[in-house]
Amino acid sequence: MPTTKRCAVRQKKRRLWPIRNLIFEFTNLLFTLYPCWLMSPETVSEILPLQNNLFDVIIFDEASQMFVENAIPTIYRGAKIVIAGDDQQLRPTSAFMARVDDEEEEIIDIKTAAALKKKVC
């Protein structure tokens, strides 16, 4: 790639704003022009400001397929919530995710403490 073309690409990259900055700068305009948004809870947390009542209604479809802790920041952003899910569906899988299980951690801590106590005595 010629040097002038590389410089042009760098300058273009510098002029492009991340979407989070665009939304922060033009929140009122964007929400006036586009009152309906379709995003996952993770995307909402990444790009939208953590502002109470940012939306009139938050709708979770297939809520049985998601973890509750992922929805909490999105719930905060809405004045009202509609949650739709099917209790006959499989629960969300965490096969590819790392989650902290406080109960398991507590059991390990108790076992560790007991083992340490035996060694000390």
87-101: per-residue pLDDT in tens? 787 777 766 665 555
21-68: per-residue pLDDT in tens? 888 899 889 999 999 999 999 999 999 999 999 999 999 998 888 888
Q: Report the amino acid identity of residue 8.
A: A
Any idea where the domains of the chain sit in the sequence? 1-33, 36-120
Q: How far apart are CA 119 and CA 112, in angstroms?
A: 11
| Residue 58 Cα distances to 6, 15, 90, angstroms | 44, 33, 23
Percent of the chain with pLDDT strictly greater than 90: 37
> Is 67 or 81 the better-scoring residue by pLDDT?
81
Residue 77 has pLDDT above 60, yes or no: yes
Residue 71 has pLDDT above 80, yes or no: yes
Q: How far apart are CA 114 and CA 121, in angstroms?
A: 11
Q: How far apart are CA 58 and CA 40, in angstroms?
A: 11
